[in-house]
Amino acid sequence: MESFKIRASGAGQIMTSPRAKKDKESGKLSKTSETFVQNWLKESIYGHRKEFSSKQTEKGINLEDEGIDSAISWLDLPFVLKNEKSFEDEYFTGTPDLILEDEVLDIKLSWDAFTFPLFETELPTKDYFYQMQVYLHFTRKKKGRVVYVLLNTPEELNKYGFNADYSNVDTKYCIKTFQVDYDVNVIEDLKQRVGQIREYLLTINL
């Protein structure tokens, strides 16, 4: 069986802490981390990834390229193409959206205006912080930005009974960025957790 490595998108899920103080002190994995690892193990055994779908993920997949193009235009970025290169090392795997000369950008599509973080002053999702740390580790950049983009709901998602049109909204209200600075200590913590998970996997009897 292949050695456990964490996808950048899942890095936040393995960094949750157990609730009980004694479990924290003993270095035990949280229930969230254990469930994540057990699903990874099933994927490895059966050769199929766990499927997860929601209206949010469907919009993100359907509008991925449009979201990236919109971010490039609205942020007035220098000429850059969507990154197609996947990275991998002893601990991590991942594919950043945009790699610029001095930073990495990862694009997130909000479902609607009410999930778009218009008033947030800090990155609202911790998982995206860890995801960006892995991307910065791979690309050797010191800073990155998580970019939320608000686009019209595509017609194919009308099945959810919602078809928002933001065409007449000033674009400054449809894009929001959050800077993430590289922290080598976070990467070391992630590496340590990957090692801990590999030890945990050895204790599972099948």
Can you give the pLDDT at residue 93? 97
Query: What is the phi/psi pair of residue 161, to 5°?
Result: 70, 30
* Predicted pLDDT at 174: 97
How much is the pLDDT for 4?
A: 95
pLDDT, position 1: 60
Mind listing the pLDDT tens digit of every residue in the chain (206 residues)?
A: 679 999 999 999 999 988 777 767 677 899 999 999 999 999 998 888 877 667 778 888 888 999 999 999 999 998 899 999 999 999 999 999 999 999 999 999 998 999 999 999 999 999 999 999 999 999 999 999 999 999 988 777 666 666 778 989 999 999 999 999 999 999 999 999 999 999 999 998 87
Closest to 144 measured CA to CA, from 128, 124, 125, 126: 128
DSSP string, 140-157: T-SEEEEEEE--PPPGGG
Domains along the sequence of the chain with CATH:
6-202 (3.90.320.10)
Q: Indicate the pTM of the whole model.
A: 0.91
Given a contact cutoff of 8 angstroms between Cβ atoms, the answer to whether 53 and 47 are in contact is no
What's the pLDDT at 18?
Answer: 83
With DSSP H G I counted as helix, E B as strand and the rest as coil, what are the percentages for the chain, rounded to 5? Answer: 45, 15, 40
Nearest to 178 by CA among 112, 107, 99: 107
Which pLDDT does position 162 carry in this prediction? 63
In which order are the strands placed within the sheet that holds 92-94? 6-7, 92-94, 87-88
On whether the CB atoms of residues 134 and 190 are closer than 8 A, the answer is yes
Residue type, 38: Q
Residue owning tokens 């103080």: 21
pLDDT score, position 161? 63
